[in-house]
Amino acid sequence: MNRTAQVKELEVVVTGTFLGRARLGAEYYDWVEDAPAFLEALRRSPLRADLFTFVQHVSDRSPHYDYFRETDSLAVLPITSYENWWKAQVNDKTRNMIRKAGKAAVELRVVPFDDALVNGIMKIYNESPVRQGKAFKHYQKDFETLKRTHVTFQERSDFIGAFYQGELIGFAKLVHGKGVSSLMQIISMIAHRDKAPTNALIAKAVEICTQKGVPFLHYGIWGRAGGLGDFKKHHAFQQFDTPRYTVPLTWKGKVMLRLKLHRNAADYIPETVMQWLLSTRARWTQFRHGSSKK
């Protein structure tokens, strides 16, 4: 079971039984600003962990600390202006997809976080038990659970809705931080894929970032096999290699870090094997959910 605690007003989560790995609960949306001070506060906290790992802020990729360092590859869109993104950063195919949403009368607007939005999100989530070849974790969750899930960072978030004939067919949650905004969620209904609402949601997110003067839009990790690499590339996201630090907090943490056994087991799986595993999982998930409908 995961353990959590507040350290310098940030949630820290510890996972693992034999080796307790700590990281920010909202990693990539919260950032460690002063690592030495944060580590000192973490050591004084009641939270017991063997290792603490954190990522340096995406806007500054030059290493600042002497801790053990690896690399996180994030998907980041550098933004100067909407016009530059539209004319110079995306290709004709992507521009045509965004135009397609407009021609299909898809309306994009920032919406308040209220019960109507949560109900719309629930309808999108319940459209299919399978997304991107795996069981969809939000499928058939109840209203209150979804409301708690999406209320986070409400004071610094924009919810963008894509509407068709008054119905919410897609939405994005855009979380704003210091020098970067992050897409915490972006999803559209499969039944309306022909109207390109997800492409239009990305365009609206870029527009909002330019209005706020935000120079970077972050959209998850760059990803291994089975990710959204092509979709991100087509919208001009780039691979940003950002320092990830791992700091031992106990003797066990020091030993495991020295043996290079500090990561999660999945991180040690070779890329070719990972591709095979993801492909097999996708086929099995599709078969299992397809069979359950008979």
- Ranges 19-28, 32-41, 124-133: which has the least confidence: 124-133
Between CA 264 and CA 281 the distance in angstroms is: 19
- Which pLDDT score is estimated for 2? 85
pLDDT for 285: 59
pLDDT at position 131: 81
From the centroid of its chain, how far is CA 7? 22
- Give pTM, 2 decimals: 0.86
Read off the DSSP letter of residue 213: T
The pLDDT, as a whole number, for residue 34 is 94
Predicted local distance difference test score (pLDDT) of residue 102: 96
Q: Give the tokens for residue 183.
A: 């897409």
Alpha carbons 58 and 274: distance in angstroms, whole number: 26
Q: What is the mean pLDDT of residues 65-78?
A: 95
What's the mean pLDDT when you consider all of the chain?
90
Name, in order, each residue with C-beta under 8 angstroms of 280's C-beta and a sequence gap of 6 or more.
none
Mean pLDDT check: name the lowest of 83-97, 202-216, 227-241: 227-241
Mean pLDDT, rounded, for 132-147: 89
Alpha helices in 141-250 (DSSP H): 143-150, 197-212, 229-234
Handedness of CA 132, 134, 137, 142 (dihedral sign): positive
Q: Rounded to the nearest 5°, which phi and psi values hold at 15? A: -120, 160
Q: What is the mean pLDDT of residues 116-134?
A: 90
Cβ atoms of 167 and 124 closer than 8 Å: no
For position 269, what pLDDT does the model report?
60
Query: Are the beta carbons of 202 and 235 closer than 8 angstroms?
Result: yes
Residue 134 predicted with pLDDT over 80: no
Angle CA(156)–CA(160)–CA(161) in degrees, nearest 5? 150
pLDDT of residue 293: 45
* CB neighbour list of residue 205: distance below 8 Å, 6 or more residues apart: 160, 172, 174, 181, 183, 186, 217
For range 151-165, the mean pLDDT: 96
Q: Return the pLDDT at 294.
A: 36
Give the domains, in start order, of the chain with CATH numbers.
3-73+241-292 (no CATH), 80-214 (3.40.630.30)
Choose among 205, 228, 23, 250: nearest CA to 134: 228
How distant is the alpha carbon of residue 53 from its chain centre? 17
Instruction: Check residue 63 and give its pLDDT.
Output: 94
- The dihedral formed by the CA atoms of 56, 58, 64 and 69, expressed in degrees to the nearest 10: 50
Q: Does residue 225 surpass a pLDDT of 50?
A: no
Question: Of 174, 175, 171, whose CA–CA distance to 205 is shortest?
Answer: 174
pLDDT for 4 equals: 93
* Mean pLDDT value of segment 134-140: 87
Percent of the chain's residues with pLDDT above 90: 78
Q: Does residue 127 carry a pLDDT above 70?
A: yes
